Structure 1
């Protein structure tokens, strides 16, 4: 996993633990992770992630 993805996951975890964070922040972090090939699912205050292959543009 790229180092940047690890940093985004840490930032998301902090945001999940804080109740005052906006959903926009969470969506933006999720989008950045998707660009790096990481899919994230939230369940309560935990995040579960997996890597995925990015398809080549046609």
Structure 2
């Protein structure tokens, strides 16, 4: 293997790692957003049940 082919393969691995890191960040952001939506929905359901029984 020549030095230029090794350098090219290292650069491609580095680029793929950077792309995966970006995808991981967007997945974490999406997971956090889904958690917030779930929590808000849960609070709404609890308030609806409490108001149905007249406890709110």
State the TM-score, normalized to the length of structure 2: 0.33
Select the structure with the greater relative contact order (CA < 8 A; seq sep ≥ 6).
1
State the TM-score, normalized to the length of structure 1: 0.32
Structure with greater Cα Rg? 2
Higher-strand-fraction structure = 1
